[in-house]
Amino acid sequence: MAVLVVGSIALDSLETPFGKRDDVPGGSATFFSTAASFFAPVQLVGVVGEDFPQEHVDFLKSRGVDLAGLTRAPGKTFRWKGRYGFDLNEAHTLDTQLNVFGEFRPELPASFRNPDLLFLGNIHPELQGLVLDQVEKRPRLVAMDTMNFWIAGSREALLKTLARVDMLFVNDAEARQLAGEHNVIKAARAIQAMGPARVVIKRGEYGVMLFDGEHVFAAPAWPLEEVFDPTGAGDSFAGGFMGYVSQRGDLSLRTLRQACVAGTAIASFCVEKFSLDRFRELDQQQIAARLAAFKALTHFDEIA
Amino acid sequence: MAVLVVGSIALDSLETPFGKRDDVPGGSATFFSTAASFFAPVQLVGVVGEDFPQEHVDFLKSRGVDLAGLTRAPGKTFRWKGRYGFDLNEAHTLDTQLNVFGEFRPELPASFRNPDLLFLGNIHPELQGLVLDQVEKRPRLVAMDTMNFWIAGSREALLKTLARVDMLFVNDAEARQLAGEHNVIKAARAIQAMGPARVVIKRGEYGVMLFDGEHVFAAPAWPLEEVFDPTGAGDSFAGGFMGYVSQRGDLSLRTLRQACVAGTAIASFCVEKFSLDRFRELDQQQIAARLAAFKALTHFDEIA
């Protein structure tokens, strides 16, 4: 099954306690597609400006990402500038320049209109809806991400899109905000009632929780002594998750639980270096080793 | 194996978003011993004042707790008054009256001097040391708890006691404070280097992490839609943990991992009602059901 992702492609400038990088590749579609590519074929829809270095395009190509939906528009690439303190769970945005991303109207090429799995990255909920309008037959799974900005400022549009999707990836603070409910379990239940039967709550260094109907699955984050750059962790998680589901080819609870672990493993690699750097040197053997270690981290023998 | 606990016994007055209670039983030794009693025989050392209702003593007795080390001293019982907002992870102390607890010098009756497992509840680290001085042969496991107050104000005494124990139970903020290190994994490693080969980091609604030598085990909290009163959750976790270890009779990694789950289950019951109320009606069948459900919450099939 192919995974289609629509989202942002950015040049990020970052400061973390471990260092500084300027104009490194970022954006939800970039992290998602790279992460998913370790498990499945990926199709990407997004826009970059004239200044976007060809080497980053070539990297995505080298990961097998189908770039038929990548547009290069006149102007500059979307830029995000952020800083992380020692509490790496929270990014402090220093500057955002939408540039060509401000005019982004996602258009699916003909070859992209029958995705099996669709991921609507964090863009305006109306644009997410526009993507849904363009798919010819209902994908087996439509998932979306969103953020505080849309929850606060475009709630109505967001609720409309939410009602059309099967799954929401959202962080805990945003889930609370969206549901107007402090308890995260209740918040997830409230979001399910808004449309998506499945909700994944991302809790940064504390891991993730998957709600699927009545079922709940919880996975801790992989314990890392050094998180170099948390940028893209959430999108890498979603990419690993959707990529794994695509590889397995079914939507059983068994697969979705494993997908949480696959996503967690991929996200844990992402944050070990700046930007996409860890993904550049990641191989299947390293992924398999971390998946095995994750079982050792979380499993226990039955208590009689 | 018997578990000996030394700690506070209190009358708590609480406000949570769900209600208010005055003068309900609290304190580290109270929660610990009740929680541990579901798995193993418990011996308790502590002090109450003349005003401590006999019914609470009778309840501990009914749980099979050996109260040979319980002293009733002239004066009033230790009182703690606290409030929780919607973020139930953090207690706001409104008032503390040490009363008879301010003069507490733990003395182990002769029948308590050979415990297999010893838990030093959150009291002054010098008093914790005093307890250790009184045991006749080294227990198989000595664990302790502590808090920000001692970490900041009695660091030297704390480090001395820490060097004498096998295991520390501590919450994540306190672990960071003690180690002077933001990353919780690094903080745990730093604490291990101070003495205890085993460290359990308690992360409230996010669960726990066990560090044992090089090994790490992580368990999420049980997902609760309503946490009525988080008071005592940490001590109940420790009680369930130590009680389970006592029941199994060994200190293998297998047992310690299971003990994290047993502690998590017991703590999840604790917070469902005020004070000890949920423990009053808890039975082995309910515990077994939650332990089984906890496996369903966390386990996943091997990823090929």
Tokens for B11, please give them.
């009358």
Tell me, what's the pLDDT at A116? 96
In angstroms, what CA-CA distances link A179 with A117, A118, A175? 26, 24, 6
Domain boundaries, chain B: 3-298
Inter-chain touch A219–B303, beta carbons under 8 Å: no
Give the C-alpha separation, A239 to A169, whole Å: 11
Tell me, what's the pLDDT at B238? 98
Q: Are A261 and A294 in contact (CB under 8 A)?
A: yes
Which residues in chain A have Cβ-Cβ distances shorter than 8 Å to B220? Answer: 207, 209, 218-220
ipTM summary value: 0.92
Tell me, what's the pLDDT at A89? 72
Inter-chain touch A303–B209, beta carbons under 8 Å: no
Of A225, A261, A262, Cβ closest to residue B185: A225
Among residues A202, A209, A205, the alpha carbon closest in space to that of A185 is found at A209
Of B87, B244, B303, Cβ closest to residue A261: B303
Strand, helix or coil at B299?
coil
In angstroms, what CA-CA distances link B87 with A134, A225, B6, B19? 42, 27, 29, 15
Give the C-alpha separation, B58 to B34, whole Å: 12
* Distance of residue A192 Cα from the nearest chain B Cα, in angstroms: 15
Q: Are A20 and A74 in contact (CB under 8 A)?
A: no
Tell me, what's the pLDDT at A1? 73
Reading chain A (304 residues) residue by residue, the pLDDT tens digits are: 789 999 999 999 999 888 999 999 999 999 999 999 999 999 999 999 999 999 999 999 999 999 999 999 999 999 999 999 877 777 899 999 999 999 999 999 999 999 999 999 999 999 999 999 999 999 999 999 999 999 999 999 999 999 999 999 999 999 999 999 999 999 999 999 999 999 999 999 999 999 999 999 999 999 999 888 999 999 999 999 999 999 999 999 999 999 999 999 999 999 999 999 999 999 999 999 999 999 999 999 988 7
Taking the model in full, what pTM does it have? 0.95
* Distance of residue A239 Cα from the nearest chain B Cα, in angstroms: 17
Give the C-alpha separation, B218 to B159, whole Å: 26
Of B218, B225, B302, Cβ closest to residue A297: B218
Instruction: Quickly tell me which residue has 């029941």 as its tokens.
Output: B247
Nearest CA in chain A to B85: A182
Reading chain B (304 residues) residue by residue, the pLDDT tens digits are: 789 999 999 999 999 888 999 999 999 999 999 999 999 999 999 999 999 999 999 999 999 999 999 999 999 999 999 999 877 777 899 999 999 999 999 999 999 999 999 999 999 999 999 999 999 999 999 999 999 999 999 999 999 999 999 999 999 999 999 999 999 999 999 999 999 999 999 999 999 999 999 999 999 999 999 888 999 999 999 999 999 999 999 999 999 999 999 999 999 999 999 999 999 999 999 999 999 999 999 999 988 7
Tell me, what's the pLDDT at A249? 95
Give the C-alpha separation, A249 to A2, whole Å: 10
Tokens for B210, please give them.
């066990």
Which residues in chain A have Cβ-Cβ distances shorter than 8 Å to B226? Answer: 183
* Angle (CA) A237 A240 A246, round 5°: 140
Chain A: residues touching B (Cβ < 8 Å): 86-87, 182-186, 189, 203, 205-207, 209, 216-220, 223-227, 244, 254, 257-258, 260-262, 291, 295, 297-303
Tell me, what's the pLDDT at A166? 98
Tell me, what's the pLDDT at A204? 92
Tell me, what's the pLDDT at B139? 97
Among residues A259, A270, A254, the alpha carbon closest in space to that of A294 is found at A259
Inter-chain touch A220–B209, beta carbons under 8 Å: yes
Q: Are A302 and B294 in contact (CB under 8 A)?
A: no
List of E strands, B85-229: 91-97, 117-120, 141-145, 167-171, 198-202, 208-212, 215-219
Inter-chain touch B87–A182, beta carbons under 8 Å: yes
Inter-chain Cβ pairs, chain A and chain B, closer than 8 A? 96
Tell me, what's the pLDDT at A270? 97
Which residues in chain A have Cβ-Cβ distances shorter than 8 Å to B303? Answer: 244, 258, 261-262, 291
Amino acid making up residue A266: I
DSSP state of A220: P
Tell me, what's the pLDDT at B17? 85
From the number of C-beta atoms within 10 Å of its C-beta (0-12, 13-18, 19+), residue A203 rates as buried
In angstroms, what CA-CA distances link B277 with B59, B241, B280? 11, 20, 5
B3-298 has which CATH code?
A: 3.40.1190.20
Strand, helix or coil at B92?
strand
Tell me, what's the pLDDT at A227? 87
Q: What are the backbone angles phi and psi of residue A187, rounded to the nearest 5°?
A: -60, -45
Inter-chain touch B218–A217, beta carbons under 8 Å: no
